[in-house]
């Protein structure tokens, strides 16, 4: 007897093989308007039966374990349209009462007996939801064409919780939304299909592996140009994924990586670098949100930012021990908003060289980073915006020294809650602005129980809520250094705390003539020198109202007496 040669899958009709007895295979449409007729054979193509889908499900065959059913059709596609556009609620799908595998060439559904060598789909959404929520187990030998079309595979295996092997997608270019939600919710899929595309269309891989909670590895992603929404939510909640693929794209678009690895709690390794230098709105929004095993971030070389570009990018990455360099000098609205929120292993904040900061650009940036010990020595921005630094270090209970804040012109609500709850904070920034704005210092140092000194040179504190509860639960004893002309500070947690000592900030500059030097400052009647002056260099003295001070020359001659009411600026020539 001659042995029958097995055909390669590409030359086989689309074939369903049962892996259980009494398995009823069905053909169901979501609406009568989209019902489609196909032909099936259970005798290896000797005879064929035409069957039309119904909303309750038409029976194609009842198969026992190992039995197979060949399928062909002459339909352009199996979805429906509304006003000429693919309607995601109109589709046909296979059903079963037990597990089955699928092999063969899917193009037999479009071209009937003439499917050999066919790679072209003539309509969008041809195979939309084809195996939606079915009992399919193994689709690794299903042959897909090497050309795609818009919406062609959208939802194809959505909710197939028994799927353990997926078909390769060997197209060089992916059409708009073509693989969207293709394997969404395939919770037993451990390995991805092979992907070779170098061009990726708008939204083409959106939700592709979302909620594939057993997926261990990601496919290679080769595209150098990434279209809008292309990879959005691609691996959302893939809680077993260990390593992210390299992302070599140098040209990206809006929301392209939005939520890409959201909730991947086992992810330990990110791409080495995200090399794009021209960013688009929402491009990295929530990209690694909740990746609680991630240790090192990718490099972020972009110097020109756009709104929401890094919004919540590492939110909740509780194992992150290092932050990327952030070289941008102009920050736009929401760019770093919540970027490192609750990164509880981060010990050092990256330097921020920005001199202009936009609306909510750094709001809650390091909020809840409970291990953060070190921040840069100065935040050099002098052009502020509303809420730009709001809550920035809130809850950073290990932070000891706050960065300097040199801005002299404030925006409304620029610093509210900035250091709220920083219980280890000892060094606070000098606050040089003369005029306070609405909400500017609200709760700024509230619950900072270790601070014992504040220097604020404001002379106008009348703006609504400018200092509400700003020193609530501060240390019971401390020193408040103020502008000498400012006598309207209240004694309260919205002003100067009770039991705090008040000193005046008096700037003294000594100019030497005829070779003089060595002038010094001391309290009159004491021998303790407070400061020795350098020619022309201003010295910021902190003087008590009840005391009198003198500037002496090197021969201990009193040159100038300083007493209440002090002047803020004093220039003395010797």
Per-residue confidence (pLDDT) for residue 10, from 0 to 100: 83
% of the chain residues with pLDDT over 90: 97
Reported as a single tens digit per residue, the pLDDT across 25-64 is 999 999 999 999 999 999 999 999 999 999 999 999 999 9
> Strand, helix or coil at 356?
strand
Do 552 and 447 belong to one domain? no
Q: Is the pLDDT reported for residue 3 higher than 50?
A: no
Q: State whether 492 and 360 are in the same domain.
A: yes
What is the pLDDT averaged over residues 69-81? 97
CATH of the domain at 519: 2.60.40
Cα(293)–Cα(250) distance, integer angstroms = 27
When pLDDT is averaged across residues 297-304 and rounded to a whole number, the result is 98
Torsion, Cα of 515, 518, 519, 521 (10° steps): 170
Residue among 36, 33, 90, 96 at smallest CA distance from 60: 96
Distance CA 231, CA 127 (A): 21
Burial of 345 (0-12, 13-18, 19+ CB in 10 A): middle
**Exposed / middle / buried, residue 525 (Cβ in 10 Å: 0-12, 13-18, 19+):** exposed
**CA geometry: angle 220, 225, 226, nearest 5 deg:** 75
Average pLDDT, the chain: 96
Cα 139 to its chain centre, rounded Å, is: 34
Count of domains in the chain?
3
Is 50 exceeded by the pLDDT of residue 524? yes
* Judgement on whether residues 430 and 547 belong to the same structural domain of the protein: no
Last residue of a domain, one of 99, 122, 145: 122
Whether residue 395 is found in the same domain as residue 525: no
Give the number of C-alpha atoms closer than 13 A to the C-alpha of residue 34, restricted to the C-beta side: 27
The answer to whether the peptide bond before residue 565 is cis (omega within 30 degrees of 0) is yes
User: 81, 106, 122: which is the final residue of a domain?
Assistant: 122
- What mean pLDDT do residues 445-466 have? 97
Q: How far is the C-alpha of 431 from the C-alpha of 12, rounded, in Å?
A: 77
Q: Which residues contact residue 43 at a Cβ distance below 8 angstroms, ignoring those fewer than 6 apart?
A: none
Residue 434 reports pLDDT greater than 70: yes
Both 494 and 512 in a single domain?
no
Asked whether residue 247 is assigned to any structural domain, the reply reads no
523 and 387 together in one domain:
no
Quickly state the pLDDT bin for 515 (edges 50, 70, 90): confident
522 shares its domain with 377 = no
Domain for residue 299, yes or no? Answer: no
Residue 339 in domain: yes
The pLDDT assigned to 442 comes to: 98
Q: Kind and range of the H or E element at 108?
A: helix 108-111
| Span 179-230, pLDDT tens digits | 999 999 999 999 999 999 999 999 999 999 999 999 999 999 999 999 999 9
Q: In the predicted model, is pLDDT for residue 475 greater than 90?
A: no
Q: How many CB atoms lie within 10 A of CB 408?
A: 12
Q: Please determine, for residue 504, whether its predicted confidence score (pLDDT) is greater than 90.
A: yes
The residues, any chain, with a CB within 8 Å of residue 230's CB and separated by 6 or more, are 200, 201, 202, 203, 204, 205, 206, 223, 253, 256
Residue 319 has pLDDT above 50, yes or no: yes
Average pLDDT over residues 533-561: 96
- CB within 8 A of 83, min separation 6: which ones? none
Do residues 567 and 507 touch, judged by C-beta distance below 8 A? no
| pLDDT score recorded for residue 1 | 39
Q: Between vectors from CA 197 to CA 193 and to CA 199, what angle results, nearest 5°? A: 145
- Judgement on whether residues 459 and 522 belong to the same structural domain of the protein: no
What lies within 8 Å, CB to CB, of 568 at 6+ separation is 483, 484, 485, 505, 506, 507
Angle ∠(315,320,324) on CA atoms, nearest 5: 85
Q: Which of 93, 122, 151 is the last residue of a domain?
A: 122
Q: How far is CA 187 from the centre of its chain?
A: 25
| CA–CA dist 186, 239 (Å, integer) | 12
The average pLDDT across 420-438 equals: 97
pLDDT band at 71 (very low <50, low <70, confident <90, very high): very high
- The arithmetic mean of pLDDT across residues 127-135, rounded, is 98
Query: Per-residue pLDDT averaged across 338-358, rounded?
Result: 98
pLDDT given at position 514:
86
Asked whether residue 391 falls in the same domain as residue 533, the answer is no
Q: Residue 407: name the closest of 384, 429, 382, 430 by CA.
A: 382
Please determine, for residue 5, whether its predicted confidence score (pLDDT) is greater than 60.
Answer: no
Same-domain check for residues 509 and 447 = no
**Structure tokens, 384:** 């502020």
Distance CA(287)–CA(554), nearest Å, equals: 64
DSSP secondary structure letter of residue 278: B
Rounded to whole angstroms, the Cα distance separating 167 from 130 reads: 14
Please give the residue range of the domain that contains residue 532: 503-573
d(CA 130, CA 136): 11
Q: Are 154 and 130 in contact (CB under 8 A)?
A: no
* Tokens, residue 288: 């690694």
The yes-or-no verdict on residue 20 having pLDDT over 90 is: yes
Residue 222 lies in a domain: no
Q: Model confidence at 135, in pLDDT bands (50, 70, 90)? A: very high
User: SS3 for 34?
Assistant: helix
Find the mean pLDDT for residues 283-305.
Answer: 98
Instruction: Supply the pTM of this predicted model.
Output: 0.94
Mean pLDDT, residues 169-183 taken together: 97
Residue 138 located in a structural domain: no
Contact 523, 530 (CB under 8 A): yes
Distance CA 186, CA 203 (A): 19
The answer to the question of residue 174 being in a domain is no
Kind of pairing between the strands at 58-63 and 100-105: unpaired
52 and 87 belong to one structural domain: yes
Question: Which of the four pLDDT bands, split at 50, 70 and 90, describes residue 574?
Answer: very high
Sign of CA dihedral 430, 435, 437, 439: positive
- Would residue 303 count as lying in a domain? no
pLDDT of residue 2 exceeding 70: no
Residues 468, 507: one domain? no
Mean pLDDT of 406-428: 97
Which secondary structure element, helix H or strand E, spans residue 61, and what is its range? strand 58-63
Report the residue count for the chain.
574
């Amino acid at each position: 007897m001659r042995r029958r040669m097995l055909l390669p899958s590409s030359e086989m009709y689309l074939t369903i093989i049962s892996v259980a007895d009494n398995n009823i295979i069905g053909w169901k449409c979501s609406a009568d308007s989209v019902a489609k007729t196909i032909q099936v054979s259970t005798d290896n193509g000797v005879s064929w039966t035409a069957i039309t889908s119904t909303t309750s499900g038409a029976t194609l065959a009842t198969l026992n374990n190992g039995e197979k059913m060949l399928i062909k059709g002459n339909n352009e596609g199996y979805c429906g349209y509304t006003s000429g556009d693919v309607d995601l609620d109109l589709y046909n799908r296979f059903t079963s009462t037990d597990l089955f595998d699928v092999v063969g060439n899917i193009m037999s559904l479009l071209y009937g007996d003439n499917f050999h060598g066919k790679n072209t789909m003539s309509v969008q959404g041809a195979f939309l939801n084809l195996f939606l929520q079915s009992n399919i187990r193994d689709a690794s030998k299903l042959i897909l064409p090497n050309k795609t079309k818009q919406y062609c595979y959208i939802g194809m295996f959505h909710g197939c919780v028994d799927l353990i092997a997926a078909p390769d997608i060997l197209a060089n270019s992916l059409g708009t939304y073509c693989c969207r939600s293709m394997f969404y919710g395939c919770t037993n899929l451990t390995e991805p299909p092979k992907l070779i595309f170098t061009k990726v269309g708008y939204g083409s891989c959106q939700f592709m592996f979302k909620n594939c909670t057993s997926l261990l590895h990601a496919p290679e992603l080769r595209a150098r140009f990434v279209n809008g929404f292309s990879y959005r939510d691609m691996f959302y909640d893939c809680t077993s994924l260990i390593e992210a693929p390299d992302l070599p794209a140098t040209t990206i678009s809006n929301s392209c990586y939005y939520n890409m690895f959201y909730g991947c709690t086992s992810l330990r390794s990110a791409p080495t670098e995200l090399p794009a230098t021209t960013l688009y709105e929402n491009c990295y929004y929530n990209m690694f949100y909740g990746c609680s095993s991630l240790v090192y971030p990718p490099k972020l070389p972009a110097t020109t930012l756009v709104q929401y570009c890094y919004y919540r990018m590492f939110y909740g990455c509780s194992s992150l021990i290092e932050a990327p360099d952030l070289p941008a000098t102009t920050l736009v609205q929401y760019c770093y908003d919540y970027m490192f929120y609750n990164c509880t292993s981060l010990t050092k904040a990256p330097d921020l060289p920005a001199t202009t900061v936009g609306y909510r650009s750094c709001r809650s940036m390091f909020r809840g980073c409970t291990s953060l010990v070190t921040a840069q020595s100065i935040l050099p921005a002098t052009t502020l915006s509303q809420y730009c630094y709001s809550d920035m270090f809130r809850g950073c209970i290990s932070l000891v020294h706050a960065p300097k804040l040199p801005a002299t012109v404030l925006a409304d609500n620029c610093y509210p809650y900035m250091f709220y709850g920083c219980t280890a904070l000892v060094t606070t920034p000098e606050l040089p602005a003369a005029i306070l704005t609405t909400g500017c210092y609200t709760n700024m140092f509230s619950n900072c129980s270790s601070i014992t000194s504040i220097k604020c040179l404001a002379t106008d504190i009348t703006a609504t809520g400018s200092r509400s509860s700003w020193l609530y639960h501060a240390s019971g004893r401390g020193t408040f250094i103020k502008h000498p002309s400012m006598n309207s500070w209240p004694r309260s947690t919205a002003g100067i705390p009770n039991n705090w000592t008040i000193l005046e900030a008096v700037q003294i500059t000594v100019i030497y003539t005829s070779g003089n030097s060595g002038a010094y400052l001391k309290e009159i009647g004491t021998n303790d020198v407070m400061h020795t002056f350098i020619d022309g260099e201003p010295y910021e003295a902190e003087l008590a109202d009840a005391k009198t001070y003198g500037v002496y020359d090197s021969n201990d001659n009193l040159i100038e007496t300083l007493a209440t009411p002090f002047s803020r600026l004093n220039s003395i020539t010797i």
